[in-house]
Structure formats: structure tokens, C-alpha cells
Structure 1
């Protein structure tokens, strides 16, 4: 459920009351389509865009494509946003203006042909955590608080996204499906998912529940539900204690979950289902990232040429 108090509503002036009232309604209707992290990201993207429009005295309802190109340069140069961030923010605006066009608020879509920045990924650097690092982090978490152990276990051994892990309630994993203890949850995009719980995972989650029958599973020290920010701090602290020197975040554990599954010999299609990737190309990226150095042709060529090189 979206929170109307979080919408990027602008305070209109007497001279702009009509147009800002209309734009507020358009933005509210657009953001109502989303929730969770997507809602937060799109709300921020649109707020930054509207702030920029006000700074250059531009009406978002009558702008042209060049204005959006200039906004992209503003993001790159003045805000210092990376190409991936600029790409995401322009993608948000393209969807917003597409819907505005469909709903008849504008005669044509100025964002349709906006040039999108190219985003390149060096897959050799997308390595995540090794098997030993994953094991060390899980062991360190189990030696810590039960709530932190449950968090790390769900991230590393179930591949949950950090928001998904923080949103797990005690009552969500008390059922059985065909003799399998399962976690029932709502994943990314509002998609329901049923995830089987291996015994070590279920034990960690039961320990965090501490006899409770309801309420948030993963708690902060003050007894409230853990947030993605507090979870990020927990992951970084435990990783440091485990001797991991890589830059780490909760998503790195999900990455490690996928690559470890592939290393364990689980078929690519099954790993896609485990990770709940809607597009198999996303899972294939992890597969290429884990092997593109080990299987690189440079080694075969050097061996073929022998001492000639």
C-alpha cells in the first residue's frame, strides 16, 4: 500500500495552482502503480526532475525532448550520477510521460526518443563472495545474535532480497507444503512466492522467532523491525568480523547465493527459479561472470602456442 504522505507533492504558488495541482495528481496516479523499493526510487527520481524543472522555470506538462536531454546532462555533470543511475531515472520519466500521453494529459510524448546513456558491465568483476567467504560470513552470523543470524541465513542461503528478508514475519514460515516446511512471502513486483526451508535455515529462523507466534522476524536492538539500512550495517559489520575485505552489501550475498548454486552444479533453469529471475538472461549474467576468467581463451591460446609466446 502506497503512502500518500510520501508523494513528491509540490507546494503551488498562486500563479501555478492549476498546473501543479494537475501534475500532482498525475504523479500520484503514476506512483500508485508501485510499492516498496520501486516506489521509493521512482518518487525520488520524479522529485529530482520536478525540482530541476522549477529551478529553470519549466512546466513539466509542456516541455520538449531537448529539455529532457538537458536534465540528463544535469544529472551527469552537476549531480555526478553514474550512467546506470541516469539510465534508471530517464527510464522512470519515459514511463511517466508514456502514461501521460496515453491518458491524454499531453498531445505527444517528449520522452519517447530521449537518448539513453549506455551502461556497461565488466562481468569479470561481478564475482560476489566465494564459497569460503560465504561460509565464514554465515558462521560469524550464527555466533552473533539470533536475529542477525536469521538475516544472513535468509540472504545467503535463500537468496532473498534485503527488503524481502526484513519483511518476513514469524507467521510466514509456520506452514508445510507437501511435507516441506516453507516460507510464504511477497517478492519483487508483488509476486507471491513459496520458498522451501532447509533444516539449517529453519533452525536459524526459529531461533530468531524465540517462541513468538507473530510479528517481525528480524529485529533491531530496540525491538522494532529491521530496515534495509540497518540490515546493510549488520552485513558490513559481520563481514568485517569474518575477515572479508571486499566491498559488501546485502545484494552481494544474493549474488553469492546464485553463483554458489551454479558452482554446486544446479542447472541454470533451476537457479533461475530459485532466484526468482523473471528473465533468464539475468541468471546467465551470473553464470558468465563466474566463469569468464576461468574459461577465458587466453589460457588455451597460451597452451597451444607453448614457448612461442
Structure 2
């Protein structure tokens, strides 16, 4: 296991805690491991500041940690729920490995997560403006960045982590091989506009990252966020928080607004659970799309 994915420890001389963390993180790969380690780090730092030993924590400590996330850090319910899930999974592994007799997180109630995602996707006109700004930008990576996030629906780590060698063809389509969450690989077809944007970014390079920063190095999520904020300013697009996930959200909401079937959108977004896709559907309560009308039209000859 890469040592950089191990969370910060309260006591470097605590072999049991180190073993428990390593055993739990060994269950994950790639970005899932890194994100799990990051969430565990938050809890370990919280414990350090309060002289709490993680392997001796009680349910009350986990409850206090939950309240701290909600009332001091003011995190969104979905973020709080995710971090509690990560912590519960860690303690469950400790029970499986007989490090603990029971999990202190077992009976902690998770916060209610609203059905609709709090992240607002761009409107159709705002999305067009961002695409135009990227296409007209002097930085040849901008259009590829916007296209990969907004027209392919890639997560930011997928877009920035993809190399030129991932381009290819499959069943008559030009495709991009994407290494996604859960160490899963997907073949994503490239519409012509996205293909042109990527070709513009890579020029005549045959290897290396598709997206580069201003120093010619692989673009990271921080550089991607800065470029998107700059494009939003140049396009006069105002949004509370402009970040890469806004474009992935826009990818899903625009598909749903265009009438693409929910199942097809789920497949395109590579969501494991259709409920995740439904959270993005801002028109879910639009009665114009109610399935009763489709059924009535189908049975019109009998009615």
C-alpha cells in the first residue's frame, strides 16, 4: 500500500491503530482509498485535539464528532453522512478483525439527506456561455477541460488523470478509456466536438496527460477549479460556487432536461444507484413529464 494514503496517526508508536488503519484502507483502491483516508484524517485530527484515543472512543464521542461537523464546520448533510459512513466502516472493520468488541458508531443516527442535490447545475444558457468561453480561450486546455467535465460528465480526478494513451477506437466509435471510482474502467464515446477539443489540447503529443497546467505539468483539481472560475468570469456566468462538480452536475441535469431516460443518464454518469441520478433531476416534479400522460397516450385507442 502506498504510505501517502495512510491517515495521520495520533501516536506514531501505536501499532494497533496503525494496523487497524492499514487493514481498513487495504479494502480500497485508487481514489477511493485516498478519499477514505482523507475523511478518516478529519476524525483523527478531531480526536487528537480532544485527547480521545480512536480505538477507545465511545458512542458519545462519535455523536459529538457528528455535531461538530454539523454545527461548527457547517458541512452539508450529504458530506456529514458520507464522513459518518466512512467512520462506521472503519470501526466495522475493527470489529471484523477483533480489534474491538463492538463499533461505537453502530447506533449513531445519520443526518437526513435531502432528495434533491444542493449543488445547482448551470442553466442551458450558462452552459453554452462556458463552452463558448472555453472554445475561444487562448489556453488550449480550457475547452478540453470544459468539454470533458460538461459534455462527458467526467469527475475532475478522471479528467485530470487521463492520459493521451487512453484515446482509442471501439466498435466504430472514437472513445476515451476512463479509470473511475472503485478502480473501474469505462469506455466513454467522444462526440466530435469533444474530440476536437481534446485534439486541440494534446496537439502532436503521443503520450502524457491530456490536460496540462500553465507550467506544462499535469493539471490537478486545484488548477482545474482556477481555470473554470476564470472562464466563468470571462463568460459573465455568476454562480455561488464554481467548481468542477458543477459541470458534472450540469451534464446530468441537461440530459434530464433534454428528455433522456433516467436509466440512460445513470449509465452515462456511471452512478451505481439510480437514486443518486434522481437527486440531480431538478424537473422531477414537473407534471408535464408525468408518466400518466405516456400511459394514457399508449392506451388512447381504448379510451
- TM-score interval, normalised by the smaller of the two chains: 0.7 to 0.9
1:98 Cα shift? 0.5
Q: Give 1:245's aligned residue.
A: 238
1:45 Cα shift? 2.6
* 2:175 aligned counterpart, secondary structure: strand
Q: Give 1:12's aligned residue.
A: 11
Cα 1:81/1:197, change in 2 over 3 Å? closer
1:191-210 matches, cutoff 5 A: 191-210=184-203
Larger radius of gyration: 1
Distance 2:252 2:48 in 1: 44
1:121 Cα shift? 5.0
For these two proteins, the number of residue pairs brought into alignment is: 288
Question: Deviation string for 1:6-56 (max 9, x for gaps)?
Answer: 42243638xxx4xx2110121122223334544343323322322333333
1:59 Cα shift? 2.5
The answer (yes or no) to whether the contact 2:144–2:201 under 8 Å persists in 1 is yes
Of residues 77-86 and 156-165 in structure 1, the stretch that sits farther from structure 2 once superposed is 77-86
Tell me which stretches of 4 or more aligned residues in structure 1 moved more than 6 Å. Answer: none
User: Is 1:184 aligned with 2:177?
Assistant: yes
Q: Give 2:206's aligned residue.
A: 213
Which of residues 149, 155, 160 is equivalent to 2:149?
Answer: 155
TM-score normalised by the chain length of structure 2: 0.86
Cα 1:285/1:57, change in 2 over 3 Å? closer
- RMSD of equivalent CA atoms: 2.3
TM-score normalised by the chain length of structure 1: 0.85
- Structure 2: 5+ residue stretches without partners: 291-303
Question: Deviation string for 1:148-178 (max 9, x for gaps)?
Answer: 11111111111111111101111111x2111
1:1-309 matches, cutoff 5 A: 3-10=2-9, 12=11, 17=13, 20-120=14-114, 127-144=120-137, 145-173=139-167, 175-247=168-240, 248-287=242-281, 289-292=282-285
- Structure 1: 5+ residue stretches without partners: 298-309
Distance 1:233 1:198 in 2: 26
